[in-house]
Chains A and B, each alone.
Chain A
Amino acid sequence: MTQDEASEAQRLVGQLVTRVALKPDAVALLFFEDHLRYTNTLYSSGRWHLKDNEGTTLDRDSKSAARTSFNLWKLVGSTVSGAHIVLGDRLLIQFDSGLKLSFEGAVFTSQDWKIDFEDGNSIVPAPSSG
Chain B
Amino acid sequence: MDRKWVKLADNLVGHKVTEFFVDQLSVTFLFENAALAIEGPWKLLDSSNVVIDYGDEGVQNDEFHAWKVLDSTVIRSTISDENTLELVFDCGLTLRAFADDDGFEDWGLRFRGGAWVIINGV
- Which of A's residues lie within 8 Å of B, judged by CB? 18-24, 28, 64-65, 67, 69-71, 73, 76-77
Among B23, B24, B59, B70, which residue has its beta carbon within 8 angstroms of that of A22? Answer: B70
- Which of B's residues lie within 8 Å of A, judged by CB? 18-24, 58-59, 63-64, 67, 70-71
Chain A residue numbers with a CB within 8 Å of B58 are 76
Q: How many A-B residue pairs have CB under 8 A?
A: 41
Contact indicator A21/B70 (Cβ below 8 Å): no
Using A21-B22, A76-B58 as known contacts, list a sample of 13 further A-B pairs with CB atoms less than 8 Å apart, ordered by residue number in A: A18-B24, A19-B21, A21-B19, A22-B19, A22-B21, A23-B18, A24-B18, A67-B67, A69-B63, A76-B22, A76-B23, A76-B59, A77-B24
- Report the minimum CB–CB distance from B70 to chain A (whole Å): 5
Q: Which residue of B lies closest to A65 (CB)?
A: B71
- Report the minimum CB–CB distance from B71 to chain A (whole Å): 5
Chain A residue numbers with a CB within 8 Å of B71 are 24, 64-65
Contact indicator A64/B59 (Cβ below 8 Å): no
Q: Which residue of A lies closest to B19 (CB)?
A: A23
Chain B residue numbers with a CB within 8 Å of A18 are 23-24
Whole-angstrom distance between the alpha carbons of A73 and B71 in the complex?
A: 18
Return 25 A-B CB contacts under 8 Å, by A number: A18-B23, A19-B21, A19-B23, A21-B20, A21-B21, A21-B22, A22-B19, A22-B20, A22-B21, A23-B18, A24-B70, A24-B71, A28-B21, A65-B71, A67-B67, A69-B64, A70-B64, A70-B67, A73-B59, A73-B64, A76-B22, A76-B23, A76-B24, A76-B58, A76-B59
